[in-house]
Structure 1
Amino acid sequence: MAGVAALESAVQEAPEWVVLRYGTLYGPGTWYARDGLMAQFAAAGRVPADADVSSLLHIDDAVAAAVAALRWPTGAVNVCDDEPSAASEWVPAFCAAAQVPAPASTVGERHGWARGASSQFARTDRGWVPAYPSWRDGFATL
């Protein structure tokens, strides 16, 4: 987290800047693709389906936000889908989309840093609308 804060601080020294805080990227060419690294890890049983909450973002929506941000005023903006979810919910769906066996869901203590984000500001103040408002829709494209 300190590294991210340092990068954001450095960016803010520019006269005009926008920081896009993306959710976990999935889709073609990412780790979370049918042929991506996380699909390989999942097939080997190395992706936990636990209580940690993530916000996800289809790569196409990330690209659209980056292009739109060229016209946005200065500021930091969260860019993610509308459905932060526990890994116990989205990991089995990712595995199904990637056609690999899903791990057993585990119940346990959640890491404090593993929580979802909101892109409400991007939607209401910047006019950004994701093509895939839920990972449920986006995983269908894998």
Structure 2
Amino acid sequence: PKPIPLPKALAKLPALSPNQARVTRRITFTEDMMAGRFFINGKTFDHRRVDFRGRVGDLEVWELENQGDMDHPFHLHTHPFQVLSVNGKAFPYRALKDVVNLKAKEVVRLLVPLRNLPGKTVFHCHIVEHEDRGMMGVLEVS
């Protein structure tokens, strides 16, 4: 079979503005290496707890801060996001992502459009040992 040619240009993404955001969420990542525990906003994962509640169709800004000494690749299920800035420096291009690496002592700002997909989903560090040892939270969209 003949290969399909690559597209000449990438798909256009909507220009989302943080000024349209309904809410700004602050999310901190920390770890206790001696105890082998990992935290989001000072808490370990509890599947019975809802950490954030959002509304379908809303645009949110999420400010991620890694206060620890290790990288934490942040992953959000269901709702692709756009990276606004890393340590206050504007991200060089617009793209939909579901993972962004959060380096030690780094702050990353995201624009999170909550699509028409109500229900519970999770966000977490994408390093499985960190996720399994507590670095995960629940987002409920209604």
More helix by share: 1
More strand by share: 2
TM-score grouping bracket, smaller chain normalisation = under 0.3
TM-score, scaled to structure 2: 0.27
TM-score, scaled to structure 1: 0.27
